[in-house]
Amino acid sequence: MKPIQDDIRHAQWRWDLAIASHGIHMHAPEEGLRMLGTAMDKAADARTKLARLLATKGITHEIQIPDISTKEKAQQAIGLNMEQIKAEKAGLQSKR
């Protein structure tokens, strides 16, 4: 699992730097796109390695990946109770 986790971690680092880095879009857009491309390559490598690992364990069926296409769906996929979080935040803000 370590090589798979490393690929995922490296993909995330590259994605963060390419997308979340303030100014890269203005000052070095080609470099940002290059880093995003390598992030996608690393993620694809992780998927391939994971599929091979699962196959050695006899798991050959398609693995269901949660829909994280929106912020709300991603929050739901990881089990965040947003109503509770919003209520707690409102309570903290009212104490100011």
- The domain of 25 spans 1-65
Cα-based angle 2, 76, 94 (whole degrees, multiple of 5): 115
Question: Tokens at residue 53, please?
Answer: 């690992």
* 34 in the same domain as 2: yes
Whether pTM > 0.85 for this model: the answer is: no
* 50 in the same domain as 13: yes
* 33 in the same domain as 19: yes
Domain count for the chain: 2
Helix (H) or strand (E) holding 84: helix 82-94
* 52 in the same domain as 11: yes
pLDDT tens track for 72-87: 999 999 999 999 999 9
Q: Which residue has the higher pLDDT, 59 or 63?
A: 59
* 58 in the same domain as 86: no
Query: What is the band of 64 on the pLDDT scale with cuts at 50, 70, 90?
Result: confident
pLDDT recorded at residue 23: 83
Residue 22 has pLDDT above 80, yes or no: no
